[in-house]
Structure 1
């Protein structure tokens, strides 16, 4: 496994990974309507690319295939954290968190936080995150439930 910054030429592949993961992995916790609002079949790749440029994600690759991606922002927000649906439960998420912690340490963060799906909540808890509050968020006019989660980092 290798961890590296995502290249702009890979943003479309990150969209596909995001879309497919949401629709395969989260379907036990969200309705088809909620999944379609969260990760629609049609996307404006220029807007997606702008979002990726803003968050500067990194990827985990195996044999040059992207199997997951995430980010960590200067305020400790983890905006995106996705492991390819075909690579679940193989340690990819742990690799992503190792990189998140490395980056958090390098910029001296004291806390990480994220808006975590119902599906991902147990994994984030296994990584030391605690639920701050349940949330209802509206995406493309559809309400989804998730959790604001936080992890305090050692000084």
Structure 2
């Protein structure tokens, strides 16, 4: 499956596909690790243009299989892997691994000493398998709900 995964720069036309991937991934995948109220608070995109602007303001990538967007990721200016989501129908086929490799390549190119992320309960095992270590357990507030996540980091090498 990995050979069929194309990682390309995020494009302005990706806004609706990436929003759908984000929402479906939280509702259909993360729902096993978070309550219905937590999912409802987390899975919201209130401003489509702000979403697009954020993706375009930083290095960001879209993963495609057969020309269809199936995942996306981005990297902020301080080495934060801010978002990485994979469509529920394409979990476990290497999309997140390929996206992470691209993020790591960019972090190295930019001279970052580390990549860090705030991983959900759902994503934590993936990041641990990829060599990230947990720095701290965190509670973040989203629309009146307290959600647990994990600050994790990995040195760039």
* TM-score tier (shorter): over 0.9
Provide TM-score, normalisation by structure 2.
Answer: 0.92
> Which residues of 2 match residues 60-79 of structure 1 at below 5 A?
60-79=63-82
Counterpart pick for 2:104 among 74, 91, 101:
101
Structure 1 contact 116–148 (Cα < 8 Å) conserved: yes
Look up the SS of the partner of 1:48 in the other structure.
helix
Gap regions ≥5 residues in structure 2: none
The runs of at least 4 consecutive aligned structure 1 residues that moved more than 4 Å come to none
Q: Which residue of 2 aligns with 1:30?
A: 34
Give the alignment's Cα RMSD to 1 decimal: 1.3
Q: Give the number of equivalent residue pairs.
A: 153
1:52 aligns with 2:55: yes
Q: TM-score, normalised by structure 1?
A: 0.93
Deviations 1:19-54, CA, capped at 9 Å, x for gaps: 0000011011101111111113x6321222222223
Task: Tell me if structure 2 keeps the 8 A contact 1:74–1:107.
Answer: no
Task: Work out whether residues 12 and 56 of structure 2, in 8 Å CA contact, stay in contact via their aligned partners in 1.
Answer: yes
Task: Identify the match of residue 150 of structure 1 among 113, 138, 153.
Answer: 153
